[in-house]
Amino acid sequence: MKGSSYCNLNNINIESTRTGKIILGKPEWNVVVTNNCNCTQSQITLQCQGFQTTEVVSPSILALEGDSCLLINGRPLKGFATVSFSYAWDPPYFLRPLTSHTTCS
């Protein structure tokens, strides 16, 4: 369990970068979610209130559930692993982590 007390939502880093593509008139953004912790985090939900996109995002990556989104169906994101997806909207949406469950082995 060493290190588990240091793992929290602050360890989930979300970066959005404009790709340069235009999808149905909206700029495309690539989002990379990184678990900057040595422990696995699962059941990660993000703040998604008002999230819109003209580009389909697979629900297996980001599933909209009311005002929040479930990342990768709640599956574990191992320590220092990343998951990425793209969406298209203007202006870019500020995604932030809401909840997660941390497991240290």
* Residue 105: predicted pLDDT: 74
Q: pLDDT band at 4, cuts 50/70/90?
A: very low
Q: What is the mean pLDDT of residues 17-46?
A: 97
pLDDT recorded at residue 60: 97
Where does 4-103 sit in CATH, by number? Answer: 2.60.40
Single out the residue of 13, 14, 11, 15 nearest to residue 37, CA to CA: 11
Q: Burial level of 57, CB count in 10 A (0-12/13-18/19+)?
A: middle
Give the three-class secondary structure for 59: coil
**What is the residue extent of each domain of the chain?**
4-103
Q: Which two tokens stand for residue 56?
A: 């389909």
